[in-house]
């Protein structure tokens, strides 16, 4: 039987000023899954992620990570196994040099010097920052900081990797590289990937399943193509469909093509549909 990586039961979160950020959230993410939490600004995505690693505590309902209830006595263990990339990299980088930031986690795990060094170089190489290792993080560009934040999480070799808006401020090549890195981690180390984003175009490239979040509530859940090609639902969630889905929706509307299947949500799916149309 598949094991649960994260489980939320009837979770509510109200900020101390009274703002209700999440209501009645139910969610099950299994080990080895690639899941995206998709929603517009202010939907509650970051709040939801912070409940997973215990930075925030639900005001109602329960949160479990790898079978452990997210609370005081389990937090150390949970944070050792869950890597977290904050939305704002300044929340993650606090050492005098990038190198110290990247090896901070592995050092605190009590690993050997060689292993710490190996992990540090491996993580920096993965995000293409090995040449900047001696720079102070606050002197890095925003995109470089984002990559640095990702490297600090990678160096921990987490079982679950949580990323909050990982593509924000990345240039197009950085974006493609990130998609590659995440999928490689998933394939080679079976890392469970949980990404929060408002970037609907990246969602199908880094996830198989999606939870749609709007105004603190889960308003949709399912396989990427099923959910993202549901134009009514996407509209209801205050999002826009992927650009390729919009193109196909227009082609169908204009009567230029006919599709019996769901609209494509990635370029690869679009190519398959076109090949099929050419055959018919």
Ligand X SMILES: Nc1ncnc2c1ncn2[C@@H]1O[C@H](COP(=O)(O)OP(=O)(O)OP(=O)(O)O)[C@@H](O)[C@H]1O
| Whole-number Å distance between alpha carbons of 218 and 203 | 16
Residue 1 is encoded by which pair of tokens?
């039987």
Site string for Mg ion, 78-107 (x = CB under 5 A): ---------x--------------------
In the complex, what is the shortest distance from the CB of residue 198 to ligand X, in angstroms, rounded to a whole number? 5
| Whole-number Å distance between alpha carbons of 278 and 280 | 6
In the complex, what is the shortest distance from the CB of residue 206 to ligand X, in angstroms, rounded to a whole number? 17
| Whole-number Å distance between alpha carbons of 222 and 229 | 11
Binder among 46, 195, 201, 266 for Mg ion (CB under 5 A): 46
CA atoms within 13 A on the CB side of 186: 22
Residue 51 is encoded by which pair of tokens?
């409940």
Q: Choose from Mg ion, ligand X, none: what does 106 bind? Cβ within 5-8 Å by kind.
A: none
What's the angle, vertex CA 24, arms to CA 235 and CA 22, rounded to 5?
70
How far CA 246 is from CA of 146, 162, 188, 264, in Å, comes to 29, 29, 34, 9
Looking at the Cβ atoms of 135 and 215, the one nearer to ligand X is 215
Q: Choose from ligand X, Mg ion, none: what does 266 bind? Cβ within 5-8 Å by kind.
A: none
Looking at the Cβ atoms of 87 and 195, the one nearer to Mg ion is 87
Q: Which stretch binds Mg ion (CB under 5 A): 5-13, 26-34, 41-49, 245-253?
A: 41-49
**What does R_g of the chain's alpha carbons equal in angstroms?**
20
Q: Could you say whether residue 47 binds Mg ion (CB under 5 A)? A: no
Name the site residues for ligand X (rule: CB under 6 A): 15, 17, 19, 21, 39, 41-47, 87, 198
The footprint of Mg ion (CB under 5 A) covers 45-46, 87
């Amino acid at each position: 039987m598949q094991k649960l990586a994260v489980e939320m039961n009837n979770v509510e979160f109200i900020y101390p000023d009274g703002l209700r950020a999440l209501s009645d959230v139910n969610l099950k993410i299994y080990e080895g899954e690639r899941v995206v939490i998709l929603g517009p600004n202010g939907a509650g995505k970051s709040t939801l992620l912070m409940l997973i690693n215990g930075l925030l505590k639900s005001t109602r309902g329960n949160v479990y990570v790898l079978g452990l209830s997210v609370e005081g006595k389990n937090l150390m263990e949970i944070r050792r196994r869950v890597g977290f990339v904050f939305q704002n990299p300044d929340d993650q980088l606090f050492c005098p040099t990038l190198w110290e930031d990247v090896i901070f986690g592995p050092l605190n795990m009590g690993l050997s010097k060689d292993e710490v060094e190996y992990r540090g170089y491996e993580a920096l190489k993965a995000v293409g920052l090995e040449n900047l290792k001696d720079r102070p993080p606050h002197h890095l560009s925003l995109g470089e900081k984002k990559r640095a934040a990702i490297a600090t999480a990678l160096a921990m070799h987490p079982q679950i990797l949580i990323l909050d808006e990982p593509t924000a401020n990345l240039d197009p090549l950085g974006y493609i590289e990130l998609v590659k890195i995440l999928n490689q981690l998933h394939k080679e180390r079976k890392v469970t990937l949980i990404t929060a984003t408002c970037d609907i175009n990246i969602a199908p490239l880094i996830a198989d399943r999606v939870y749609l979040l709007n105004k603190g509530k889960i308003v949709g859940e399912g396989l990427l193509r099923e959910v993202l090609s549901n134009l009514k639902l996407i509209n209801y969630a205050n999002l826009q469909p992927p650009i390729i889905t919009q193109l196909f929706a227009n082609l169908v509307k204009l009567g230029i093509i006919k599709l019996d299947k769901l609209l494509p949500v990635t370029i690869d799916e679009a190519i398959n549909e076109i090949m099929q149309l050419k055959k018919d």
